[in-house]
Amino acid sequence: MFAGRPIESRLPILLRTAKLASSVPPPGGGGFRNSHRQMNDVSSAPSESLTEFFPEDLLHVVRENQPLRETLWLGIGGPARFLAEPVEIDQIEKLYTAAREKQLALRVLGQGSNVLVREAGFDGLVIKLSAPATSGLEIQGQKLIAGAGAKLTHAVIKTVGEGLGGLEHLVGIPGSIGAAVVGNVSAEGRDIGSVVESIEIIDEEGKRKTLTGEEAGFAHRQSTLMGTVVLSVTFNLEPKDVSALTKRMQKLWIHRGQRRPSESNRIAMPFIDPDSISACELINSTGLAGIREGDVSLDSAAPHYLIAHENATSDQCVKLIGRVREQVLMQTGIDLQLNLQIW
């Protein structure tokens, strides 16, 4: 994930290509119900399982028993029973309705930077937001309309290039727009919710609606959007000097890149920073930097990062996270909340 040229050397290239949406469809594999059908095997007839759960007009966007580990930063976990990659917003609504009617557990997958899947896999429907319809970035005046599946850093680069300020301090933070808004990601003392004008969602009742930023209930690293499916977000930004914005973005990007573990690409940030102190400072102060559980550890220099070494398992990740939370609570009275979603 961080292999190759340093982040700062790739910045000019990314600035020129920010308007291009990118997606890599996950490969096929085996697992639930012994299905071995590949993603590109378009000639295969739909299985009875697919036709049992999904209407005919969705069968071309849903696959069975699809591996997830290749799309997750930690590279751990088994397959999804069903994986859908909708290419139209209407398909997301239909998928949501089908999952509710058939009582299928449902998860939405963006960039996979804060997801841990157990080796048994996820026995439900995963909707991956990778198509242009769900990951586009459009500038309208001083507003950015971003699909939930768009990369946060791509959104930052695009707005900076257009001379629009308000997101530049979030550059280099991994993940998608949807996940960033649901978790109200923050940096440099400012959260993303402060520039959100509206959010288009599918609510828990399966209804499509638009909420204002105020209705999203943004608070420290949280919102009231959990349990909904975010489709798109409109940001209201401020016109600023392109050169000044670019310099600030470059400085922050280089700084964040230098703080990340360099020995492994399989990393995640398991904890949310508390109000008063960063998770990194908190873990350092309790002597837990570098702590290890099997083939999983916290980085010794940046202990707010969890590293999955070769042969790491989901159980090892969960045990390590539990040990850290217990020790921090005992020593400081602070209950670290999870940034990592465990499926």
- pLDDT per residue as tens digits for the range 215-246: 999 999 999 999 899 999 999 999 999 999 99
The three-state DSSP-derived secondary structure of 144-167 is: EEEECCCEHHHHHHHHHHCCEECC
CATH of domain 50-131: 3.30.43.10
Which CATH number is 263-342's, of 3.90.78.10, 3.30.365.10, 3.90.1300.10, 3.40.50.150? 3.90.78.10
| Separation of alpha carbons 81 and 76, rounded Å | 16
CATH fold of 135-244 reads 3.30.465
C-alpha angle 289-290-295 in degrees, rounded to nearest 5: 145
Task: Report helix, strand or coil for 263.
Answer: coil
52, pLDDT greater than 50? yes
Task: State the average pLDDT over residues 69-79.
Answer: 95
| Separation of alpha carbons 211 and 99, rounded Å | 23
Burial of 334 (0-12, 13-18, 19+ CB in 10 A): middle
What's phi and psi for 104, nearest 5 deg?
-90, 135
What ranges in 228-310 are assigned the alpha helix state H? Answer: 242-259, 279-285
> What is the torsion angle, in degrees rounded to the nearest 10, for the CA atoms of residue 274, residue 223, residue 153 and residue 122?
90
Active site residues: 221
Is there a contact between 81 and 65 (Cβ–Cβ < 8 Å)?
yes
Span(s) in the chain for CATH 3.90.78.10:
263-342
Span(s) in the chain for CATH 3.30.465.10:
135-244
| Separation of alpha carbons 230 and 253, rounded Å | 27
| Separation of alpha carbons 185 and 205, rounded Å | 26
- Percent of the chain at pLDDT > 70 equals 86
Q: pTM for the whole thing?
A: 0.82
In DSSP terms, 202 is beta-bridged to 208, 229
Q: pLDDT of 75-132, one tens digit each?
A: 999 999 999 999 999 999 999 999 999 999 999 999 999 999 999 999 999 999 989 9
